[in-house]
Amino acid sequence: MLSGYRVFSRRYVKSFPAFSRGFETETEMTVHALDLAMPFAEVATEYRVRPTESTSKLRTIPDGLRIARFILRLWKEYEPLRFFGTLALMSGLLAAVTALIGARFLTPTFAGQLAIAWSGLGIVLATAGVILDTVSRSRREIKRIMYLAQPYGLPRSRSSNGHAPVEEDDALPGPVDVIA
């Protein structure tokens, strides 16, 4: 997912929102294609040794943390029920642990209040997940309709080398977005 090149159909380009920058863009492109159930294919590429005079711009830890944070954000946006459901489950487990074990180390009244607070937070998180999942599903349907409304193929181009311009119908053999 984080290497190679990408070739997109006109449909894909017109439907892709492109909110991110840097290494996160590749993750966003892949999630967008998967979320809208767009057909895509991987193409094998030849890898070569980096020239000795060039240097890598990759900073392993900072870039990895940025990508991980971005994946969490995408998870929240694309699958809110699972995201908030996981947080609600963790809150419920904290409530149970606080109720069972907290009474031994804290005053029973404070442990009970803390367990109730964790339970309430879990209920709020679960409710937010259900509501946001409904909104996310309707947004996904609208994005899919917008994707399918775009004509397939490459735009007409003016050729400077004497070749005939590419017509939309001649662009690619089928509706496939190539993600390598």
Q: What is the pLDDT of residues 116-167, one digit of tens each?
A: 999 999 999 999 999 999 999 998 888 888 888 877 655 555 445 544 444 4
CA distance readout (Å), 171 to 42, 63, 89, 96, 155: 18, 36, 49, 59, 8
> Number of H helices and number of E strands within the chain?
6, 3
The whole-number pLDDT of residue 123 equals 97
pLDDT tens profile 77-127: 889 999 999 999 999 999 999 998 877 777 878 888 999 999 999 999 999
Beta bridge partners, 40, equal: 177
C-alpha span between 20 and 74 (Å, rounded): 11
pLDDT at residue 95 in the model: 94
CA-CA-CA-CA dihedral for 134, 74, 15, 143, to nearest 10: -10
pLDDT at 180: 47
- 6 contacts 144 by C-beta, under 8 angstroms: no
φ, ψ of residue 166 to 5 degrees: the values are -80, 125
Q: Provide CB contacts within 8 A for 139, sequence distance 6+.
A: none
Above 70 in pLDDT, residue 171? no
Alpha-carbon gap, residue 32 to 148, rounded angstroms: 14
